[in-house]
Amino acid sequence: MSDALAAADELNRRARAWRSEPARSTQLEALALAVAANLPVLLWGEPGIGKSAGMERLAERLGVPLETVIASVHEPSDFAGLPIIGDDPAATGVPMAPPDWAVRVAAAGRGLVFFDELSSAPPAVQAALLRVVLERRVGSLTLPGPVRIVAAANPPSSAADGWHLSPPLANRFVHLHWTHDPRTVARGLAGTWPELSVPVVDPARAGGAVARARGAISGFLTARPGLVHHMPADAEARGGAWPSPRSWEMALRLLAAGYATGSAGEAVSAAVVGAVGDGAGLELLSYLEELDLPDPDKVLADPARFALPERGDRQLAFLTAVVSAVQGDLTRRRWEAGWVVLAKAVDAGVPDVAARAAADLAALREPDWPVPEGIDGFVELLQLSGAL
């Protein structure tokens, strides 16, 4: 009998064996980008579509342990912790003991935590998960920073005893729709699946990437203030992605990660829309296509050769990015180069566009730095604001 099982096990091993080949998968790249940005991700898809398999491949590609937690079969105390009475509760309090999966991933110091069947978890369990997603705490245990959080959910219509996600929980995730390509599945079952590409941040591009993202998001929301916060009216939409200050901060991190890793535009677009929703996300992407901001670090390296954009929204976004770049790597040379850039707004007859950027740049001045020539056009404004 043992020989028969051994032969069956060998057959099963062969059936599970596969190789990978270079191929593009927007949803896999968007997932990897959000994980690289260390943002909680929620994969939406029908049962059996490969969400769990995608997580296994991602964990293997990253070289980190994977802890899968079926949210729908747990109680709130499994995430909030169970009270353990110590020797002197009045002096030390009552600690909340974490579950074993949290202890394992904390001991490893890194890893992927995968909360499956989230939409099948009742509201009380979802509420307990809020603290895990927001504060990264499970009971009295704090998860290490390198630990990434990913969840999966079936649409309520196809989930067993499905619930809509509560708006506070939904607004803390990047929502990605997990679908299947029949041709990819057919080739995968033949033994070859697409290779998962993990984005790698280029340290040399990190500062400029964050500055560009800050300028783009700030410029867009200045032009479209009504999109800063807009919670949908119906329950199903509130359980997905929608714009709020929190989700815009997520979009900023995703955009910065995209700039710093050179990720494909389709993957960045999917991740950004997954953070702020279809309406706001598509408007932002259209804005970014027309914006085409130059790298602020390159401009600060040679500010005299830079020509200020003609459009007002591009001017505001770029000047915001320049100040952010200076703040991210503050030196006297870069601070003075910032004033050379801002002076071009005065020369172009639009000092009002650079007014806020000038005040922010002036606030970065060290006491022993002399006042640069480029500040002349802003002196009156800065004196009124108290920045000088």
- Asked, for residue 370, whether it belongs to a domain, the answer is yes
| Strands of 174-177's sheet in order across | 66-70, 111-116, 147-153, 41-44, 174-177
293: Cα within 13 Å, side-chain hemisphere: 32
- Asked, for residue 16, whether it belongs to a domain, the answer is no
- Asked, for residue 300, whether it belongs to a domain, the answer is yes
- Asked, for residue 64, whether it belongs to a domain, the answer is yes
Q: What is the CATH number of the domain that holds 109?
A: 3.40.50.300
- Asked, for residue 191, whether it belongs to a domain, the answer is no
Q: Please count the structural domains in the chain.
A: 2
Report how far residue 223's alpha carbon sits from residue 283's, in angstroms, rounded to the nearest whole number. 11
- Asked, for residue 225, whether it belongs to a domain, the answer is no
| End residue of a domain, out of 156, 172, 188 | 172
Contact 79, 67 (CB under 8 A): no
pLDDT tens, N- to C-terminus, the chain (388 residues)? 567 788 888 899 998 888 888 777 788 889 989 999 999 999 998 888 888 888 888 898 889 999 999 988 888 888 888 887 767 666 667 778 888 999 999 999 999 999 998 888 888 888 888 889 888 999 889 999 999 999 998 876 655 556 778 899 899 999 999 888 888 889 888 888 887 778 888 898 888 899 999 999 998 998 889 999 999 988 888 989 999 999 999 999 999 999 999 888 899 999 999 999 999 999 999 998 887 777 888 889 988 888 887 777 778 888 888 999 999 889 999 999 998 888 887 777 776 777 788 888 888 989 888 877 766 666 665 655 455 5
Range of the domain at 68: 41-84+92-172
pTM given for the model: 0.83
Q: What is the DSSP letter of 179?
A: -
| End residue of a domain, out of 126, 146, 172 | 172
| End residue of a domain, out of 115, 149, 172 | 172
- Asked, for residue 312, whether it belongs to a domain, the answer is yes
- Asked, for residue 135, whether it belongs to a domain, the answer is yes
